[in-house]
Structure 1
Amino acid sequence: MNSLFLAFIGVGMMAAGFALYSRFLGSKVYRLSAKYATPAHTMEDGVDFVPTNKYVLWGHHFTSVAGAAPIIGPAVAVIWGWVPAFLWVTLGTVFFAGMHDLGVLWASLRHRGQSIGTLSGRYIGARGRNLFLVIIFLLLLMVNTAFATVISKLLVSTPTAVIPTWGAIVVALLIGQAIYRFKWNLPAVSVVGVVSLYTLMVVGDRFPIVLPETVMGIPDRGVWIILLFTYAFAASLLPVWVLLQPRDYINGLQLFVGLIILYGSVLITHPDVVAPTFNDNVPEGTPGIFPLLFVTIACGAVSGFHGVVASGTSSKQLDKETDARFVGYFGAVGEGLLSLGTIIATTAGFKTLANWEEVYNEWSAGGVNAFISGGGSIINEGLGIPTSLSATILATMAILFAATTMDSGVRLQRMVVEEIGQIMGLKISALVATIIAVGVAFALTFSSGADGSGGMLIWPLFGTTNQLMAGLSMAIIAVILTHLRRPAWPVLIPLCFVVTVAMWAALLQLGTLWAGRNWLLLGIDVVIIIAAIWVVVESASAIMRARKAPAVAWSDADTDAPAPHHVG
């Protein structure tokens, strides 16, 4: 199989999904209206609620939801063969991820920018909301701690990425000032920003930065993690337009340039896919493909974390409701393209099947390093870019996306802490909530030692938790659509599938954790499963009640959608 075929088919499917299916969702299901006054205008505060150009907001949303997951997941999952990974990424992007991200963004928009956790309380009750918040808190904790660990490993293994990684913060600060304070031309600022980032990559490739093995008794990886959490703490408190939004925007452009370089190299070299179509010769210890494929590849097919971002930050910055189609659905398409590029890099970036099997010699052996190695080889052969610089470009790409997700993750964790405080009748300031959010993540990350390896302790539960979160978010959308008497089948079909495979995987994981006597993860997994089952039952009950209740009508004049009759 030639990789060019995969690229054309995959890109074509996603482009058709945005052109056709997202248009159907926007006009017939969610009924987006340019006349509706979004929370960014009605609740503008210059900190979290800020009307934003849709292209800038797309960059924020896309890079916040992308992170390293759309690279790690597919790069691991191709061990079962390239066909299953390819089908799940393409079909998942078009019919699952785009619908989910757009739907949560729309639902939050119509409810004053409220989070999906708050919406669960409104539509399925207080118990469902409380359990929802537990799942969201754990999901964000997994993301923040694991991504800090992943970034630190990459900064140590690829020291040429250090300068562009930290230099991107300076570039983002300047872009934020240029766009919002000085009102400079956006295309010109964008070009300068992208050129600056790639210039930093060239400089970083020439001048790698390596920390001492230990600094005051702390290993180099631990030092990077401390610096990352310090940065995330500050970034989560700053107004979104100062750092978070411009950083995400310029990273989004940088990624697309990186994808153009990768896909352009595929177009020139069109290497053959050496990985098996379906791999029957998997290494010993590799779990079965069903249902693990659907939780191993989450971001890039469908991901509950996207709903947390869409309702936590993106909905508060949307200028027009009709922009939700571009920001939400096309944001999912961007992530799908990254996952597709990862599949090509990790299946066609090796010379022979033997070379591929040498890397994929055990379960979960693939990952970011396989993406960097395979993708770097394709770029080097296609465009003649030196192997070292190719690796720097791809490593920086992975780091910056993980870092932007961590930025948003800490900010969202702060909002969840504030929300929990409100439920308990406590007024928790943004500063205190951020201290709690960062403190919990910091404690877990260093719980196993000064190298920060504790950040991966609860990561094994991410796949199932993330997909259960996606299913629960779709359940809320389904309840809302039922109240409005609008077509709910585009949501209900993916909802049933995702909840089934995620619950199946979570139950299988219980057996594995029990056999391995991993009591910490076993206990957390039990909590997540019970919470998810409870929310699913509550959601099903809410849908049945909604069918019997009088229809609810939404007007473009409403600044907050009328609540269903049975909910107080």
Structure 2
Amino acid sequence: MQSIAIVLFGIVGMLFGWFVYSKFIASKIFQMDDSIITPAHRLKDGVDFVPTNKLVLWGHHFTSVAGAAPIVGPAIAVYWGWVPAVLWVVFGTIFFAGVHDMGALWASSRHQGKSMGALSESVIGKRTRSLFMIVVFLVLLMVNAVFGVVIANSFVSQPTAVLPAWAAIVFALIIGQLLHRNFNIIMLCLFGVVALYLSVYAGSAMPLALPSEMFGLSDKANWIIILFIYAAIASLLPVWVLLQPRDFINGVQLLVGLLLLYGAVFMFMPDITAPAFNTQMALDTPSIIPLLFVTIACGAVSGFHGIVSSGTSSKQLNKDTDARFVGYLGAVGEGCLALITIVAVSGVTLALSPAEWHEVYSHLGAGSVGAFITGGSNLIQAGWGIPKELASTLLAVMVVLFAGTTMDSGVRLQRYIIQEWGDIYDIKWIKNGVVATLLAVACCLLLAFGAGGSSGSGGMIIWPLFGSTNQILASLTLLVLSVMLIKMGKPAKYTLIPMVFVLTMAFFAGLLKLAEYYQQGNWLLVIIDAIVLIVCVLVMLEAWSVIAKYKQVKKQNG
């Protein structure tokens, strides 16, 4: 029965966030206005700048920012106890993630679709832009290199997910063409869902796998190469051809998955096996503060969302007010996924007794995606009577497709960053889309195979830095929004308070990691972590200087 209380608490909170808080922020603070022409119309090019129906854009935005992170983070963080995980997810979604994502989308749209890195120049200064974009590029590099490994691992361990994952791309290409010809969106939605779930059923009966060794590389390494070839091609196609419809299908798939999971909770009403606050943790477990707030990023607040909001989504925004629907409601979708993940990995569907739960969660980092798929499939089976194998394939496909869409958008965003560097430093040859894409993919593969050898797992080497780096990026995005609002004469406390909290937690976590890497003698991570922390301090000092000068001028002018 505790699961019902968790779900109701989360739903009521999310409804308050959407109907009350987001409406207040959008109308009174950001003052969204549909008379303002968005970059999608002003700079329309049919490739990146494309006015898009808000439902389709929500699907793109949500699945691009989600990836596997709102599953992985909560499924790990529940180790400290389900109560702190639930509180951070719910309140983080309402007051942090929603404002952050909607704000980044709104700010970029008001500045010709610029990324937050490029936008920081006009808001704070040139030096800030250069520093900001270093952090952005590092986060994208981490996400792309690691998500390639995550998908490849899923294909190897769950071959039943291979067929539906690639079939979804074919369905997306078909839907993209039909959407472009103004076919009925509801009919296309039904077609996409039916086709996808038929492929899930087919995949569960027909697993596909690469040879264990091919071209001198393992099956996982070959999957990584195939995935980056696909991502390079996908990132160069016009957004309406593949990116939008693929993300739209995945958005609908998520809604179906959420209905199945939440519906199963109300029908089965599972008890919670996990402790509210874990008092039987391993001796080497790090402190919940600040680690909880960087372990659960997507699902509470995440800097990667600001990259997507100001990267691909702002270039497709049809109307200024759509930023609330796409940005805030995208954050709510992530929060809902994170919340049901906590239930799935905390209830009797994963372990029948507290002792059995502690066996699964023997240390921080245990559980993760595997626990979600196990707990979630048992929950669906108990609530709906769907065979466990089919439910497992369905959830595995959901994880793979989310990670895939994030990787699609991530490579495209890396291309944008490289092209923006070409504009900033007047390097004409890297402004070319094909060249910029090849450079982006080359960086990812160099990290994957250069640092990880023939396994292609090099991204995992710097992945431990993702949590603190990603949250530092979130705080920098909130900082840019705060400076914008101060210059506009608007109240900035709604972005400043979340910024101070996230920055404190992320910076503290970064310092703890720096000490840990130093003791381990891991000099690569020491150097990267130190660079990120120094960049953060410098950006904060630049922003403080700008705010102080602005207030001084304002005071002098009366």
Structures share a fold, TM > 0.5?
Answer: yes
Partner of 1:539: 543
1:436 Cα shift? 0.5
State yes or no: 1:328 paired with 2:327: yes
Partner of 1:396: 397
1:269 Cα shift? 0.5
Partner of 1:111: 111
The answer to whether the 8 Å contact 1:285/1:363 transfers is no
Partner of 1:248: 247
**CA distance, structure 1, for counterparts of residue 438 and residue 215 of structure 2:** 24
Q: Which amino acid aligns with 1:291?
A: P
Partner of 1:6: 6
1:283 Cα shift? 2.1
Alignment of 1:76-475 (within 5 A): 76-180=76-180, 182-348=181-347, 349-350=349-350, 351-427=352-428, 428=430, 429-447=432-450, 448-475=452-479
Deviation sequence 1:142-166 (CA, Å, 0-9, x none): 0001111011111111111111101
**CA distance, structure 1, for counterparts of residue 282 and residue 198 of structure 2:** 41
Question: What percentage of residue pairs aligned between the two structures are identical?
Answer: 54
Please say which of residues 262-271 and 354-363 is displaced more in the overlay.
Answer: 354-363
The answer to whether the 8 Å contact 1:220/1:451 transfers is no
Equivalenced residue count is 551
**CA distance, structure 2, for counterparts of residue 421 and residue 393 of structure 1:** 42
For the residue of structure 1 that corresponds to 2:255, the secondary structure is: helix
**CA distance, structure 1, for counterparts of residue 127 and residue 480 of structure 2:** 14
The answer to whether the 8 Å contact 2:86/2:342 transfers is yes
The answer to whether the 8 Å contact 2:77/2:364 transfers is no
Q: Which amino acid aligns with 1:514?
A: Y
RMSD value, Cα: 1.2
**CA distance, structure 2, for counterparts of residue 501 and residue 167 of structure 1:** 41
Q: Which amino acid aligns with 1:294?
A: F
**CA distance, structure 1, for counterparts of residue 356 and residue 54 of structure 2:** 43
**CA distance, structure 2, for counterparts of residue 451 and residue 504 of structure 1:** 33
The answer to whether the 8 Å contact 2:10/2:339 transfers is yes
TM-score, length-normalised on structure 1? 0.96
TM-score, length-normalised on structure 2? 0.97
Deviation sequence 1:229-253 (CA, Å, 0-9, x none): 0110000100000001110111001
1:550 Cα shift? 5.0
**CA distance, structure 1, for counterparts of residue 141 and residue 206 of structure 2:** 34
Deviation sequence 1:492-531 (CA, Å, 0-9, x none): 1101101111100000111100011111111000000000
**CA distance, structure 1, for counterparts of residue 427 and residue 129 of structure 2:** 17
**CA distance, structure 2, for counterparts of residue 334 and residue 46 of structure 1:** 28
Q: Which amino acid aligns with 2:143?
A: V
The answer to whether the 8 Å contact 1:121/1:127 transfers is yes
Alignment of 1:481-492 (within 5 A): 481-492=485-496
**CA distance, structure 2, for counterparts of residue 235 and residue 547 of structure 1:** 46
Partner of 2:34: 34
The answer to whether the 8 Å contact 1:265/1:383 transfers is yes
For the residue of structure 2 that corresponds to 1:526, the secondary structure is: helix
1:425 Cα shift? 1.8
Deviation sequence 1:285-333 (CA, Å, 0-9, x none): 2211010000000010000000000001101101100111100000100
**CA distance, structure 2, for counterparts of residue 83 and residue 458 of structure 1:** 30
**CA distance, structure 1, for counterparts of residue 551 and residue 202 of structure 2:** 61
For the residue of structure 1 that corresponds to 2:321, the secondary structure is: helix
Deviation sequence 1:38-57 (CA, Å, 0-9, x none): 11111100000000000000
